[in-house]
Structure 1
Amino acid sequence: MGRAAIIAGSGTLPRLVAAALEAPVYVTLDGASAPEGATHVSARIEKLGRLFKDLRAQGVTEVTFAGAMVRPKINPVLLDRHALRLAMSLGKGDDALLREVLALFAEQGFTVRGAAELCPDLTLPSGTHWGHAPSPEETADTDRAQAVLDALSPLDVGQGAVCAGGQMLGIETVQGTDALLRFVAQTPERLRRAKGVFVKAPKRGQDLRVDMPTIGPETVAAAIAAGLGGIVIPGGAVIVIERDRVRHQIEEAGMFLSAQ
């Protein structure tokens, strides 16, 4: 059986996954360091062919993507043929770009596995509930926010939305969850009918192997600062970083978190 490689983005998730694997290969695209015990491969997005060779040399057969990924700045002069193909997809939506990444690794003989597949405890099972029971109004806000996300899924827009008293206060776009919650926090009280609910969920048909939504203590802190009453996620489809700390935050703030 071959080794697993972690294509590491930002945040704590890559190191959590590395800690759960035996002798992983830790790949960074920004020159960051690797955790102790992991073989480190520093790569450039323009030189994917070299990365594929380095992974094979380390006996890698499986690859997982972990952590926040941003669209890379590419030096066109350095592009090899693999990276050129990827660069041609940069003008597409996130889902289309990720499908191209998956295809490239698969064609090179690597199996792509999701971080939650390697570490099942990263997600919450359906039926998990922390904090107070949501009110009928909060349940209605949850349903409306989810309906908006469902409607936007074909447009490849975002993974989060906030509804309060039947009003949409914000929809996640390319700026991400933190920006969305900061925007909601700035909403004047006169425009708010209720505390509101933040729904975080993958887009319909989204490949969770490379783009599973994630929340953690910083997300909860931002939701608290935005004055929200609860957070709702689908069971098994959103990574929860530092779940014990998240539960403590939720209960201490008088909020709720539900995995449905």
Structure 2
Amino acid sequence: MTLDTTTASDSSTTLKQEIIDTYGRDAWDLILTVYVNFYYSELEIIDLCARWLPRRNSLQEKNYLIKHAADEVVHARLFREGVEILGQPWHGFDHEPYRIDDIGERFAKLFYSDDEVEVLIGLNLYAEGVLAMEELYQLGRSGSRYFHQFDRIEREERRHVAFGITVAQRVLAENPEAQKRAVEHCKWYREHLEGYLEGRLKQSIGWAIDAGFVSADYIDRTRLRFDDVMGKIGILES
């Protein structure tokens, strides 16, 4: 595969080298971490959609899952392509050191859950509607050449959030007990969000702010996004 590096300041220099020269090796590792975890998250989501497809009775809701999975196939390819555009062959490095354990653990928890409410909140609303959406939104609009097609992916991810909200509203309306579980799941994810933003991700967010890739109020905006998304199905504590 011939890589297009014409957007780099020097046609003989890959974007990978430009990142390392400008921001340092830690910055390159961080950008690679973003791509790798988005890629593997898409694979997890495809499997989750497949697991729930036979369980949905509504043809419309089955179609939501089919469209959702099809989008994620495209997005996984775009994330892989983005790494190669930077000048790093996708199969030319060990992915494991870049994978964040917490992400895989959360998806595993959802994959083995038979609670549709938990899956809708954990996947469509939280993983996609809060964490991924804010990251994609800000990186995609940063004007940086390093985040390939993030603006497109963010636009397409919006419909997955809408799918989740629509199905969750139906489930909660049909089952008052599900509403109670949903509130408890929402509490758990709010606590997780705080640990995420103020824990492992805090240093990375600080670097991204300093580099101009995300806004200085990134953490506050993510919290507001959580309230907005969860509020759409009425499960925020008063």
Q: How does the TM-score come out when normalised to structure 2?
A: 0.29
Higher relative contact order (CA 8 A, sep 6+): 2
Q: Which has the higher helix share?
A: 2
- Which has the greater radius of gyration? 1
Q: How does the TM-score come out when normalised to structure 1?
A: 0.27
Q: Which has the higher strand share?
A: 1
